[in-house]
A = this chain, B = another copy of it.
């Protein structure tokens, strides 16, 4: 690929002048500028980022760590972050860690050698030790949906406890008294907090879950099994701590011959697109996923820019999306 030297030669001038044209710095006569710009256009020349960074420029690179973008929730989150960061002038390495600590460590080493300006780490609850090198080099880290025990410079988390309360309260308000809860993965802080919120709201009404089924893997098949087990306790309503859990429950209930919502109410959490695809359409608590991503991008940008003000702009509220899977229980 052509270098600035090539351009200088072709335009019969010096590298310094080409650089001045490229950066609109210093003095360049109109004639020279025109000639240089012409040869640049002809050769499709693009200055090397590597050389610029080496010379002392900012790398404009950021690393994004998340469990896996083939999971809808993270796909949406990653997309929102990447777009926001690109608009701010950054390029992103989107990395799926599969929650593996080894994988995460390899990506962190890569970030270091690529001299990223910052990192966003979403979810994935594996140990945070791999972040130590980043921290040591003063690279800002923004955590999303995850606490990073002192490693993160900033962290963006919605109120999962409140989310849990909202799910439970909605069912209580409809008149339900026998409520089951299922969800996964149990090692996730977010899941634990939602569960705590559910318990708290139920307790406030003198209730407790008639069944709690927490799994390790967050997928459809396991959710189906968890739901089947929970339904053995004949609840009139079931809380899925995620939409996937709730969708698994819809299938389990369906296969048991239960009608939704007449025989069983179900509520989920997240409001991923699939929630509106199932029939009956899933009632759920909507998380502002894209907003979360954009916020993370902007906060990281401010940290990289060295802007100290951590102005805590509030995230939009969680909202109940009432669809077709919840209704009052049938009279006993």
Q: Which residues of A contact B (CB under 8 A)?
A: 1, 44, 46-51, 53-54, 59, 68-72, 75-76, 78-80, 82-83, 86, 91-96, 109-110, 112-115, 132-133, 136-137, 220, 247, 250-251, 254, 273-274, 276-280
Minimum CB–CB distance from A260 to chain B (whole Å) comes to 9
Q: A94 to B78, alpha carbons, bound, how many Å?
A: 10
* Shortest distance from the beta carbon of A275 to any chain B beta carbon, whole Å: 9
Query: A-B pairs with the 10 shortest C-beta distances?
Result: A75-B75, A70-B79, A46-B112, A44-B133, A46-B113, A50-B50, A70-B76, A50-B53, A50-B54, A274-B274
Q: List 27 A-B contacts (CB under 8 A).
A: A1-B112, A1-B137, A44-B132, A44-B136, A46-B109, A49-B50, A49-B113, A49-B115, A50-B54, A51-B54, A54-B54, A69-B78, A69-B94, A70-B75, A70-B76, A70-B80, A71-B75, A75-B75, A82-B96, A86-B95, A91-B110, A94-B94, A220-B273, A250-B279, A251-B279, A273-B274, A279-B280
Docked pose: A47 CA to B137 CA in angstroms: 14
Q: A79-B96, A82-B94, A94-B94 are in contact. Are A112 and B44 (CB under 8 A)?
A: yes
Give the distance in Å from the alpha carbon of A150 to the alpha carbon of B23 in the complex.
Answer: 34
Return chain B residues, CB-CB under 8 Å to A92.
Answer: 93-94
Cα separation A83 to B137 with both chains bound (whole Å): 27
In the complex, the answer to whether A277 meets B247 with C-beta atoms within 8 Å is yes
Query: Within the assembled complex, what's the spacing in Å between the Cα atoms of A137 and B302?
Result: 36
Quote the shortest CB–CB distance from A212 to chain B (angstroms): 24
Which residues of chain B are within 8 angstroms of A112 by Cβ–Cβ distance? 1, 44, 46
Q: Which residues of B contact A137 (CB under 8 A)?
A: 1, 44
The answer on a CB contact under 8 Å between B69 and A75 is yes
Of all chain B residues, the one with the shortest Cβ separation from A2 is: B137
